[in-house]
């Protein structure tokens, strides 16, 4: 049997295409090969628990494979997220309970065919960015065991980096889904708050928690996120997707970067950051240094102010049993008792003011790019300064959920000491897909090995699946790039996708009335292929756009040369009797050029 270590989602799918029945033997062998002494695991499935998940899947898969996009993919779950019938400990043995139901996100993934094979270690109660604050032991870095793995989602990052699962779930309040990704050369997707339900998750800071996804590739991370996400009426903080964000980041993006980044005297980290900036510029990006003060000030609020009282609430009665908690975790969580309600409101007002500044700054750019962590420390160093060095790791992560931002941690050039490093893209809420779109390009450009598996990345990255949150629109005239009405698209977060042609069954006319020359397109039995541009416009902005279209133009369905059908401009036939036919020019730009116009 071929090795199942380090398989991507598509490779797992290929395992089952010819013989889906081998799911039993394949996953049983995979589970049996796992080392039960590996402290990245807190709990591994029994054979009975594995089979109980598999049995309902096979019949459904044989009936309709497309209904189970994650069929037979093994995944790991951070042990503060419930799996029905399994223990949940939050890395605190005294707190452990048996979950009655799957967490909402776990249920979504199981319904898509994925199979949980284990629960993973974490900084106790998800309090820490280090991966050392657990009674089950510190999880080591996958590249050098002398160094930390990052936390709190240490176990989930470790088993994913070693290719033991197809993907894994972490949580991210202050950076726990990103710092471990940066330290282990993997992708960490921190979704917009509320996209993933928190039902069935042990809270750390309920207002600022989210489940996160680790994967070897960006496409895998976003595929999992698309399955896992969704509105959950049972979660008071779940949100409905507003369908207003862009589908992608433009080919030559404008990125903000910190004007004076802090690396705490880590020259290797700074040199790697400089390499990443050079690679970004080589890809066509323009980098804009910005004042990072509001971001830094907001980041400091999460642990050094009243917001820590949220952790106090989450721990509950365990706070009065300090002997059964990690001493560093207990010290942090108990500090929330010293804050008053007045101070809590003051902290919220400050958060809102800083968030407004941050949102206004980010509105000028496609995304902010930061080092995932400014430095890394050894296990021994963490013993000497467990709180101070932990705070280093949160420099570029702690503000993200407080400011309601989406983030994607990506592998970056390795440090000169052989340790991984990473960059993180950050953008406003619901820009998750746009970040993933750029992440695909970045990962292909870097061509780094996948995690700690030593495997080369796929030669070709699969593009993201078509978005249900956007409308692909064909424009033929005044809305083309550089034309007078193109702003009606760009001001609505529409993004250029490609230039192509219609099927050869269209006629093109010039409507010469009015202040702006406009084309009229009509379907005909005899016609020609007409050049068009395709734009992805957010679904919620599409109605506004259509409302501005004057008669005799409208929006209908256009057939492209390759058979795709998209929305596009059409024209009332009655308006074309006096119009100038320009079909033979093959497109609006060609006709304008013939007129000496642009």
Q: Which residues are catalytic?
A: 78, 152, 176
Cis-peptide into 521, omega within 30 deg? no
Tokens for 229, please give them. 């996400």
Residue 36's contacts (CB-CB under 8 Å, 6 or more residues apart) are 44
**Alpha-carbon span 558 to 561, nearest angstrom:** 10
Q: Which DSSP string do the residues of 294-313 spell out, in sequence order?
A: HHHHHHHHTTSSGGGHHHHH
Q: Which DSSP string do the residues of 138-200 spell out, in sequence order?
A: PPBPSS-TTBB--SSSHHHHHHHHTTSSSEEEEE-SSSTTTHHHHHHT-EEEEPPTTTS--TT
Residue 283's contacts (CB-CB under 8 Å, 6 or more residues apart) are 441, 442, 445
* Residue 25 CB neighbour total at 10 angstroms: 11
**Alpha-carbon span 463 to 516, nearest angstrom:** 37
Q: Find, among 112, 132, 119, the residue nearest to 81 by Cα.
A: 119
**Alpha-carbon span 457 to 476, nearest angstrom:** 38
Q: Beta-strand (E) ranges in 216-253?
A: none
**Alpha-carbon span 252 to 280, nearest angstrom:** 10
- 193 sits in the region (left: phi over 0; alpha: psi -120 to 50; else beta) called beta
**Alpha-carbon span 304 to 310, nearest angstrom:** 12
Look at the block and give the residue holding tokens 């083309």: 480
Report the residue count for the chain.
598
∠ Cα 350 371 420 (to 5°) = 140
Question: Any alpha helices (H) in 473-557, and if so which ranges?
Answer: 487-490, 539-547
Tokens for 540, please give them. 């919620």
**Alpha-carbon span 348 to 366, nearest angstrom:** 27
**Alpha-carbon span 467 to 538, nearest angstrom:** 10
Tokens for 41, please give them. 């695991």
**Do the beta carbons of residue 69 and residue 113 sit within 8 Å?**
yes
∠ Cα 511 517 519 (to 5°) = 50
Distances (CA, A) of 178 to 186, 410, 431, 443, 505: 9, 9, 17, 16, 50
Q: Beta-strand (E) ranges in 217-300?
A: 254-258, 286-290
Tokens for 405, please give them. 């931002």
């Amino acid at each position: 049997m071929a090795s199942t270590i380090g398989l991507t989602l598509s490779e797992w799918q290929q395992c089952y295409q010819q013989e889906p029945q081998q799911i039993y033997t394949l996953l049983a062998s995979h589970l049996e090969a796992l080392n039960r002494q590996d402290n990245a695991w807190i709990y591994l499935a029994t054979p009975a628990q594995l089979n109980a998940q598999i049995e309902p899947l096979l019949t459904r898969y044989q009936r309709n494979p497309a209904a189970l996009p994650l069929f037979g993919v093994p995944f790991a779950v951070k042990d503060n997220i419930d799996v029905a019938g399994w223990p949940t400990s939050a890395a605190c043995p005294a707190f452990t309970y048996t979950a009655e139901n799957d967490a909402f996100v776990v249920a979504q993934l199981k319904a898509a065919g994925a199979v949980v094979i284990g629960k993973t270690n974490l900084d106790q109660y998800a309090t820490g960015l280090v991966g050392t604050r657990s009674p089950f032991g510190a999880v080591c870095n996958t590249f050098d065991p002398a160094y930390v793995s990052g936390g709190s989602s240490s176990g989930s990052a470790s088993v994913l980096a070693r290719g033991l699962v197809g993907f894994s779930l972490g949580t991210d309040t202050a950076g726990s889904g990103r710092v471990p990704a940066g330290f282990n050369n993997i992708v960490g997707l921190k979704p917009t708050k509320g996209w993933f339900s928190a039902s069935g998750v042990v809270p750390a800071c309920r207002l600022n928690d989210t489940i996160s996804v680790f994967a070897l590739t960006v496409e895998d991370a976003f595929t999992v996120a698309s399955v896992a996400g969704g509105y959950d009426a049972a979660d008071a903080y779940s949100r409905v997707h507003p369908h207003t964000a862009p589908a992608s980041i433009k080919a030559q993006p404008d990125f903000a970067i910190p004007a004076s980044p802090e690396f705490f005297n880590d020259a290797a980290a700074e040199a790697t950051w400089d390499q990443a900036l050079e690679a970004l510029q080589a890809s066509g990006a323009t980098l804009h240094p910005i004042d990072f003060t509001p971001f830094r000030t907001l980041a400091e609020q999460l642990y050094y102010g009243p917001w820590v009282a949220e952790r106090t609430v989450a721990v509950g009665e365990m706070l009065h049993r300090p002997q059964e908690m990690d001493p560093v975790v207990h010290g942090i969580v108990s500090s929330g008792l010293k804050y008053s309600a007045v101070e809590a409101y003051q902290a919220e007002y400050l958060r809102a003011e800083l968030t407004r500044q941050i949102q206004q700054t980010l509105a000028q750019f496609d995304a902010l790019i930061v080092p995932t962590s400014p430095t890394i420390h050894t296990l021994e160093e963490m013993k000497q300064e467990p709180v101070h060095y932990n705070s280093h790791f949160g420099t570029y992560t702690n503000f993200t959920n407080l400011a309601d931002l989406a983030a994607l941690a990506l592998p970056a050039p390795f440090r000169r000491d052989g340790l991984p490093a990473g960059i993180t893209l950050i953008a406003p809420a619901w820009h998750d897909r746009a970040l993933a779109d750029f992440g695909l390009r970045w990962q292909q450009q870097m061509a780094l090995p996948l995690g700690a598996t030593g495997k080369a990345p796929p030669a070709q990255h699969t593009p993201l699946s078509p978005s249900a949150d956007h409308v692909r629109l064909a424009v033929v005239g005044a809305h083309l790039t550089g034309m007078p009405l193109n702003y009606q698209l760009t001001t609505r977060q529409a993004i250029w996708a490609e230039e192509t042609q219609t099927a050869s069954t269209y006629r093109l006319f010039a409507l010469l009335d009015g202040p702006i020359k406009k084309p009229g397109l009509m379907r005909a039995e005899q016609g020609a292929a007409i050049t068009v541009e395709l734009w992805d416009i957010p679904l919620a902005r599409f109605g506004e756009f259509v409302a501005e279209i004057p008669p005799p133009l409208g929006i209908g369905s256009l057939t492209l040369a390759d058979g795709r059908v998209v929305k596009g401009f059409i024209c009332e036939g009655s308006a074309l009797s006096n119009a100038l036919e320009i079909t033979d020019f093959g497109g609006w730009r060609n006709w304008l050029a013939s007129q000496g116009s642009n």
